[in-house]
């Protein structure tokens, strides 16, 4: 296809304006995996175009091709109607494309201004570039309402501000098209709202924005058009105003999905977990948890909400037995050791605490081990899995097969290495291992991070089922929606403190969002 006949079939474009970006028949394979399959998409100038899809659907690959990180096996890219080759990111910048990554690429101890000119300096002397950049930056800030102090040092800025710097970096390089990859992952709800206001403003000034996300809510709120990806294919492109979250979810998964959790009201029993005055100091000497009190009762799910990095991970690590702490924790009325020899994962398991860790690929699983080796992990000293000094491989394999069947792990092959399962199936392997121990207390961190919508439903059902068996569950998640749907009671953590507790039926995202930002009681 040539550039001429693109103008021949512009259904959605205003007369005379070519799409800001048009991709035609993009395909890309990594080894046996077809990450992108014959993808065509047109993004009109001055719009916010959402791309939604589950993890592994191929969104990031597509954007990496657009930004010159990967070369497509097949297909063509048109920028403003002109066929463009993008062999590297320099070419992408030259073509007016700017990218804001999920993980910021900023030098922590440089100022905002220094970060902005990094890689775009003029000449060998720093001073003229800096003063020129300062002028341009102030113009940009004025034009788009993106206020940032040019002389502030990055590490002193909050995440929301750092993200603005990333956006300014792209604008400074004269980007007309901005790609944002999961931009709200690290933001509080309020910060996310601010971001969307900024995006609106950018659109009004004629910029084109591609927003990549897996959150339906953001798509509905922020975008004009949305494209859905599933298993490397573009399954639909629709006007946001003409669709609904349910329809998008169905397009993403390929079948009808239940978006809310079906559960009866909780009937909390006796206190299982009782935390008093817990403090955690990390290896660098920074106090991460600053004296918290928390109770979890039998038969209830207590959710810990908060932006990542406010002490939730440390809390889980202490309860899981691999970080030292001071204070007082009782489980079933018995004191837990918070340091020393008896403060390890094995003793915790012996006390009836099971733990689905936040980062299953780093902690919960050994990626190179087979599914059956992982099924024994943490419980490999269990007499049922041993015969003398040997591991009873046959018993473990048999158990794994049964667990895989009950938790619908696909493919149900105990010999397959953990890394070869999808995120959802990896999580099911961990869940099956921990839940089927029938623990008194289940710790569960980010239960559905990187898990496809189809599996989320199943995982939520399993957690609720365990609660209904009268077990105590402590849930940590950075997804507020998930906390509100799953937890019976919510505690919000900010800066190592618990800012407040609410019954989840009596609160909403707005109130929790304020607590998450450290505002309120």
Residues found near another protein in the complex (CB under 8 A):
31-32, 320-322, 344-349, 355, 357, 359, 362-369, 373, 376-378, 380-381, 385-386, 389-391, 393, 420
104 or 385: CB nearest another protein = 385
Residue whose C-alpha is closest to residue 441's, from 420, 406, 466? 466
Q: Are strands 48-53 and 208-213 parallel, antiparallel or unpaired?
A: parallel
Q: What's the full length of the chain, in residues?
A: 521
Q: For the CB of residue 273, give the shortest distance to another protein in the complex, in Å.
A: 19
Spell 447-466 as b/e; 16+ CB within 10 A means b.
bbbbbbbebbbbbbebbbeb
Question: What spatial distance separates the first Cα and last Cα of the chain, rounded to whole Å?
Answer: 62
398 or 411: CB nearest another protein = 411
220 or 342: CB nearest another protein = 342
Element containing residue 320 per DSSP (H, E): helix 312-320
191 or 434: CB nearest another protein = 434
262 or 344: CB nearest another protein = 344
Q: For the CB of residue 386, give the shortest distance to another protein in the complex, in Å.
A: 6
Q: For the CB of residue 435, give the shortest distance to another protein in the complex, in Å.
A: 16
Q: For the CB of residue 343, give the shortest distance to another protein in the complex, in Å.
A: 10
Q: For the CB of residue 316, give the shortest distance to another protein in the complex, in Å.
A: 10
Q: Are 454 and 424 in contact (CB under 8 A)?
A: yes
276 or 381: CB nearest another protein = 381
69 or 385: CB nearest another protein = 385
Q: What are phi and psi of 239, to 5 degrees?
A: -75, 135
279 or 351: CB nearest another protein = 351
Q: For the CB of residue 491, give the shortest distance to another protein in the complex, in Å.
A: 23
Q: What are phi and psi of 279, to 5 degrees?
A: -125, 140
Report d(CA 500, CA 492) in Å as an integer: 6
- Name every residue whose Cβ is closer than 8 Å to that of residue 508 and which is 6 or more positions away in sequence: 484
Q: For the CB of residue 242, give the shortest distance to another protein in the complex, in Å.
A: 39
Question: Would you state the structure tokens that stand for residue 474, as one six-digit string?
Answer: 């402590």
Q: Are 304 and 474 in contact (CB under 8 A)?
A: yes
Residue whose C-alpha is closest to residue 489's, from 512, 510, 470, 469? 512
CA distances from 211 to 124, 141, 195, 426 (A): 36, 21, 11, 28
Q: Are strands 97-100 and 177-181 parallel, antiparallel or unpaired?
A: parallel
Q: For the CB of residue 27, give the shortest distance to another protein in the complex, in Å.
A: 14
């Amino acid at each position: 296809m040539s550039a001429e006949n693109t103008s021949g079939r512009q259904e959605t474009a205003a007369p005379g304006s070519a799409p800001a970006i048009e991709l035609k028949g993009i395909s890309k394979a990594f080894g046996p995996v077809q990450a992108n399959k014959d993808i065509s998409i047109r993004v009109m100038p001055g719009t916010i175009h959402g791309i939604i899809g589950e993890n592994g659907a191929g969104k990031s690959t597509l954007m990496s091709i657009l930004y010159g990180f990967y070369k497509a096996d097949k297909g063509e890219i048109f920028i403003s109607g002109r066929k463009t080759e993008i062999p590297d990111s320099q070419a992408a910048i030259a073509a007016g494309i700017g990218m804001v990554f999920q993980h910021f690429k900023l030098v922590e101890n440089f100022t905002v201004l220094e970060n902005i000119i990094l890689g775009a300096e003029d000449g060998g002397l720093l001073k003229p570039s800096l003063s020129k950049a300062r002028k341009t930056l102030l113009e940009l800030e004025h034009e788009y309402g993106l206020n940032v102090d040019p002389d502030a040092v990055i590490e002193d800025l909050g995440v929301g501000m750092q993200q603005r710097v990333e956006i300014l970096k792209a604008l400074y390089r004269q980007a007309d098209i901005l790609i944002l990859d999961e931009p709200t992952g690290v933001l509080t709800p309020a910060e996310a709202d601010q971001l969307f206001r900024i995006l609106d403003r950018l659109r009004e000034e004629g910029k084109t924005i591609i927003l990549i996300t897996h959150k339906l809510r953001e798509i509905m709120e922020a975008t004009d058009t949305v494209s859905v990806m599933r298993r490397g294919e573009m399954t639909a492109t629709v006007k946001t105003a003409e669709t609904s979250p349910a329809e998008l979810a169905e397009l993403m998964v390929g079948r009808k999905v239940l978006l809310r959790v079906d559960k009866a009201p909780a009937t909390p029993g006796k206190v299982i977990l009782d935390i008093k005055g817990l403090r955690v100091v990390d290896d660098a000497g920074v106090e991460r948890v600053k004296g918290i009190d928390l109770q979890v009762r039998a038969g209830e799910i207590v959710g810990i909400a908060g932006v990542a990095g406010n002490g939730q991970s440390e809390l889980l690590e202490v309860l899981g037995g691999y970080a030292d702490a001071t204070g007082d924790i009782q489980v079933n009325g018995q004191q837990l050791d918070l340091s020393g020899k008896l403060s390890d994962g094995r003793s915790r398991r012996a006390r009836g605490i099971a733990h689905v860790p936040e980062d299953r690929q780093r902690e919960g699983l050994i990626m190179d081990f087979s599914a059956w080796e992982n099924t024994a992990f943490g419980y490999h000293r269990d007499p049922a899995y041993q015969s003398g000094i040997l591991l009873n491989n046959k018993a473990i394999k048999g158990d794994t097969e049964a667990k895989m069947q009950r938790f619908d792990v696909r493919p149900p092959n105990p010999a397959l290495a953990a890394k070869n399962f999808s995120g959802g199936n990896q999580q099911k392997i961990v869940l099956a291992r921990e839940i089927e121990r029938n623990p008194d207390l289940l710790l569960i961190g980010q239960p559905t991070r990187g898990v496809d919508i189809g599996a989320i439903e199943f995982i939520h059902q399993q957690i609720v089922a365990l609660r209904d068996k009268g077990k105590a569950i402590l849930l940590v998640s950075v997804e507020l929606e998930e906390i509100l749907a799953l937890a019976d009671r919510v505690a919000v953590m900010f800066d190592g403190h618990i800012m407040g507790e609410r019954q989840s039926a009596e609160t909403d995202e707005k109130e929790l969002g304020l607590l998450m930002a450290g505002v309120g009681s």
